[in-house]
């Protein structure tokens, strides 16, 4: 069962890497820029378009739950790496782990900065 999981994990990650690499080789002439952003109308004195401190705290808790889930999945990836015998596959998986680790670290840093900004107020 563990071997099947390892093969499925490798297949999933390899497919993701292949798709990511293929995505960068698209013809730039086919790329369509996003529609221009239209600013939302906010009444005068409305400094909290998201609904204020309560909505911000809710958003921060949801983001933290997401990051915690990512950390748990990353730990599973790290744990399963030891069972991979093929060196090339193990190296690719390690690169993927490193990428996710840097992404999660970056999210943690941004969440910390957002929390500090809210403590100081607008």
Query: Residue 118, Cα to own-chain centre: how many angstroms?
Result: 22
Q: What is the pTM of this model?
A: 0.54
Quote helix, strand, coil % in the chain, to nearest 5.
70, 0, 30
pLDDT for the residue 39: 52
Q: What is the pLDDT of residues 16-75, one digit of tens each?
A: 555 555 544 444 444 445 555 555 554 554 455 556 778 888 988 999 999 999 999 999
What local confidence, expressed as pLDDT, does residue 35 receive? 55
Three-point CA angle 31, 37, 38, nearest 5°: 145
Q: How far apart are CA 13 and CA 100, in angstroms?
A: 12
pLDDT for residue 104: 96
Choose among 64, 46, 53: nearest CA to 118: 53
């Amino acid at each position: 069962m563990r071997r099947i999981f390892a093969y499925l994990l490798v297949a999933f990650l390899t497919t993701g890497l292949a798709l990511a690499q293929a995505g960068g080789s698209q013809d730039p002439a086919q790329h369509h820029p996003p529609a221009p952003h239209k600013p939302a109308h906010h009444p005068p004195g409305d400094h909290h378009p998201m609904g204020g401190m309560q909505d911000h705290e809710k958003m921060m808790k949801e983001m933290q739950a997401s990051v915690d889930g990512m950390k748990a999945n990353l730990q599973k990836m790290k744990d399963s790496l030891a069972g991979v015998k093929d060196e090339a596959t193990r190296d690719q998986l390690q690169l993927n782990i490193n990428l996710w680790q840097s992404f999660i670290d970056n999210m943690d840093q941004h969440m910390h900065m957002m929390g500090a900004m809210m403590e100081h107020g607008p």
